[in-house]
A and B are shown apart, each in its own frame.
Chain A
Amino acid sequence: MLGEFEYCVIAACQQLGEAAYGAAIAARIEQTTGRNCSAGALYLTLDRLESKGLIRTHLGEPTQERGGRAKRMVIVTAEGIKSAAEFYKAITKISKGIRWEVSTHANCNLVADQAI
C-alpha cells in the first residue's frame, strides 16, 4: 500500500496531467496541504515510485524561466493509478462515519465522534 506522501505525489501528478514535473508537483502539494514540500522528499519519493513501477519519468525540454534547465516530467502508470485508487478506497472506508472534531469537554482531547 502507498504511503501518505506517495499518494499526495501521485494525486498531484494526476491533477497536473501532462504538466506534471518537480516544481509543479511541489507547488500543488504545498497549496493543497499547506505543508512544505522539500526537493529532497519529492525526488526521493519519485525515485521510489518509479522503482515500484507506479510512475515513469523523463527529462523534458529546458525553459527560460528555469535558467535553461530541463524538467523531470512525470507520468503515472496504470499500476500507479490502481495503487492510488486502492489507497483512496481504504482511507475512505476506514474514515466512514467518523466526524473529526475537537471535544469541548474538560480534557480537550481530540475525539472521533462515532456518528454512525
Chain B
Amino acid sequence: MQIAIWLLTKLFSDLLTSDSEREAILGDFEERHLKGTWRALGETLRLVMIRQAQLWKTWQPWLLFLVLLLPINAVQQACGSILEVLFMQPLGSQSIRMTVLFAAILTITLGWRGGFCAARLGGLSRWSVLFVVLATSQLAIWRAEPTVRAWFLITTGLLTGLPTLLGAWRASSPSPLDTSSRLLLFSVQVMEYCGLFLAAQPSQSTVPQDPILIPVLLWPMALPLLYRASIRTTQ
C-alpha cells in the first residue's frame, strides 16, 4: 500500500511546475519519514492544485482554451452527437456507415490534435487546460437523454478523452517533432479533412440538419494555420 501511495505521490508531483520544487518536496518527504503516507500524497495534491491554478493568472492558458480547445471541444461534441444518434439506429445503408466512420475519425483526430496543441502551446499549464477541456466534454453527458447516456459516455470517453490524452502525451515526449511525428501529424490532418468533408455531407446523413453544426464542423479548417504558428513559436 505504501509503495502504491508513494508512486501516486511521485506521479502527481510530475504536475508541479518546477522540477527543482518536485525534487525538494520529494526529498523532504523522505527525510521526514513521510514517504508513502497519505499526508505526503495529500500535501502534494494540494500544492499541485495551487500551482496549476496559479498558471491561469497568465493570459496564455485562457487564449489556448478559448481560441483553440473550446471550439475543438464543440466539434467533438457535435461529432459525438452524430455517433450517438447513429448508434441508436440500425446502420442499414452504406452511406450511414460511412458517415459514422468518418465522424469517428474526425472526433479522434481532433481530440489528438487538441491534446497535442494544448501540450505544445500550454506549456506548464497543459494539464489543467486538458482537465478543463475533458471536464467540459463530460458535461455533455448530462444533457444527453438518460437512455443513451451510456453510449454517450463511451463515445466521448473513447473518441474524445483518450485521443486528447494521447496527443498531449506525444507532444510531451522529448523530441515530438522528429520525422515520424511530422508524418503522423500530416496523416492526422489528411484524415481530419476526409472526415470533415464526409461527415458534413447532408445527403449522406440521416442526422437532423442543425444549422449550427456545419459551421462548427467547418471551423477546424482554421486549425492548420494555428497549428503551424504554434510549431514555429515553440521550436
What A residues does B14 contact at CB under 8 A?
Answer: none
Contact pattern, B 15-59, Cβ under 8 Å of A = 1, otherwise 0: 000001101111111111001000010011011001000000000
| Of the residues A23, A38, A44, contact of B31 by C-beta under 8 Å | A23
Residue from A38, A40, A44, A70 within 8 A of B23 (CB atoms): A70
Q: Tally chain A residues at the interface, Cβ within 8 Å.
A: 20
A87 nearest CB across to chain B (Å): 24
Complex: how many Å from CA A26 to CA B26? 14
Assuming the contacts A39-B44, A40-B46, A44-B47, asked whether A70 and B20 have C-beta atoms less than 8 A apart, the reply is yes
Tell me the dominant secondary structure on chain B's binding face. Answer: helix
| Size range of the chain B interface in the assembly | 10 to 19
Once the chains bind, are A38 and B43 in contact (CB under 8 Å)? yes
Contact A26 B32 (CB under 8 A): yes
Taking the closest CB of chain A, its distance from the CB of B170, in whole angstroms, is: 29
Q: Once the chains are docked, how many angstroms separate the CA of A22 from the CA of B25?
A: 8
CB-based contact A69/B27 at 8 Å:
yes
> CB < 8 Å: which of A39, A43, A59, A70 contacts B29?
A39
A3 at the interface (CB under 8 A from B): no
Chain A residues in the interface with B (C-beta under 8 A): 21-23, 26-27, 38-40, 43-44, 59, 62-63, 65-67, 69-72
Q: Which 8 A-B pairs have the closest CB atoms?
A: A69-B27, A66-B27, A40-B47, A72-B24, A23-B28, A23-B31, A22-B28, A39-B43
